[in-house]
Amino acid sequence: MQKEKEWFENWFDTSFYHILYDYRNDDEARLFMSNVVGFLKLSKGSKVLDLPCGKGRHSLFLNELGFETTGADLSANSIAYAKQFEKQGLSFEIHDMRNPLHAKYDAIFNLFTSFGYFNQETTNIKVLKNFKNALQPGGHIVVDFLNLEKVIQELVPKQHFSKKGVDFTIRKHVSDDFIIKEIDVDFEQKTHHFIEKVQALNLEKLNFFAASAGLEIQHVFGDYKLNPYDIENSDRLILVMQ
């Protein structure tokens, strides 16, 4: 019997996912990458990993900044798209972050709330251990997560809108320690149903996962300008681990 796919294996490989999130700001992503690599004092030519990388926008910026960059993602469609940008010092590959990595990096970037997808909390620790084992001595892991408290405060239970000829109905709620987004897509007289779910993780829980993986959270930021984290007002929860 074929194993049922996880929600992210179905949703992230669709064109609807990329239509829904086409508002992602490249200037903001470029600013974040410039700020964070400057903070880490990464030297030109350092080996960095962007996992998961989606279609590769952060990987492209990292490469432009002078780093030998690998982008990896579970989505075969996203990697197939990203491969058009491959060149010397920039490569893309399919990889599940639950599996060990086979190269060593000076920095590993886990961006845009790409953590806490899994049903078991132990899987989060496994992922962080995989990252730790792939670090060069003195290397860093950057995890860009949502700020749970602000997300819950501002949660909109239901939205309906259209983008590029596709109708979306979005329902959000918190259940069993997960933030759940149910997505109904109406396109060409067919309705498709998808789900996003991410564990409702705060700084205390993420610190526990890091310690369990043998890592230490050294710095905590609240936005892409690397301002200090504020539990009530920050848009993001950005962790630098070593």
Q: Which domains does the chain have, with CATH numbers?
A: 7-148+202-241 (3.40.50.150), 151-196 (no CATH)
81-109 b/e (C-beta count within 10 Å ≥ 16 → b): bbeebeeeebbbeebebeeebeeebbbbb
The helix (H) or strand (E) run that includes residue 16 is helix 15-20
Indicate whether this model's pTM tops 0.75. Answer: yes
**Residue 237 dihedral angles phi and psi, to the nearest 5°:** -130, 100
pLDDT digits (tens, 9 = 90+) for 46-105: 999 999 999 999 999 999 999 999 999 999 999 999 999 999 999 999 999 999 999 999
Token pair listed for 116: 């806490």
Residues 200-222 have a mean pLDDT of 98
Report residue 2's pLDDT band, with 50, 70 and 90 as the boundaries.
Answer: very low
Rg (CA), the chain: 18
Token pair listed for 66: 């002078």
Provide the pLDDT for residue 4.
60
CB-based contact 228:221 (threshold 8 Å)? yes
Provide the pLDDT for residue 12.
85
CB-based contact 219:207 (threshold 8 Å)? no
Closest CA to 79 of 93, 91, 98, 96: 93
CB-based contact 242:140 (threshold 8 Å)? yes
The Cα–Cα gap between 123 and 129 comes to: 10
3-state secondary structure 89-129: CEEEEECCCCCCCCCCEEEEEECCCCCCCCCCHHHHHHHHH
From first CA to last CA, the distance across the chain in angstroms is: 41
Any residues with CB less than 8 A from the CB of 59 and at least 6 apart, and which? 50, 53, 69, 70, 71, 82, 85, 90, 92
